[in-house]
Structure 1
Amino acid sequence: MAKFMDVHHGMEGITAEQLRQSHQSDLDIEGDEGVHFEAAWADPEAGIVYCLSEAPSAEAVQRIHERSGHMADEIHPVPLSV
């Protein structure tokens, strides 16, 4: 499976608890699309949230985010990592 980094904009002021809840809502249904969300990070001042996942496709990642109520604005494949 491939790795993807997705980006959510417009999340100014997000708290650690809100980030945890959003991430958990993805984890609760990720198996429906064969996705695994590995981690999520946020910059509350910039209003940006990043999620790292392993998935069969970017579309599968977006479907989980859409069902969880927070569609990604960008989804980027991550073909290399160290």
Structure 2
Amino acid sequence: MAQFMDVHHGMVGITADQLRQAHQADLDIEQDEGVHFVKAWADPQSGMVYCLAEAPSAEAVQRVHERAGHKADEIHPVPLTV
């Protein structure tokens, strides 16, 4: 399955608990779209949040994020990993 890194902007001050809650909201519905969110990272100072997902498409990733209440601002395919 393809991997995607998505980026959320404007989440200045996000806490670890808020990040966990947002990630759990994705996990709770990811199967509906055939997506698996692997990990999430955040920088509270810049407000940037990053999520790594395995999914059939970027559109599937976005549909999960939208339903969970936090639409991604960018979604990038990750064609190579080591």
- Residue 63 of structure 1 corresponds to 63
**Per the alignment, in what secondary structure is the counterpart of residue 5 of structure 2?**
strand
Q: How does 1:1-82 map to 2 (within 5 A)?
A: 1-82=1-82
Q: Secondary structure at the match of 1:38?
A: strand
Runs of at least 5 residues in structure 1 that lack an aligned partner in the other structure: none
Runs of 4+ with deviation above 3 angstroms: none
Q: Secondary structure at the match of 1:49?
A: strand
* 3-state SS of paired residue (2:64): helix
Identity of aligned residues (%): 80
Alignment length, in residue pairs? Answer: 82
Which sections of structure 2, spanning at least 5 residues, go unmatched?
none
Q: Secondary structure at the match of 1:80?
A: coil
RMSD: 0.2
Cα displacement string for residues 8-65 of structure 1 (whole angstroms, at most 9, x for unaligned residues): 0000000000000000000000000000000000000000000000000000000000
SS in 2 for 1:66: helix
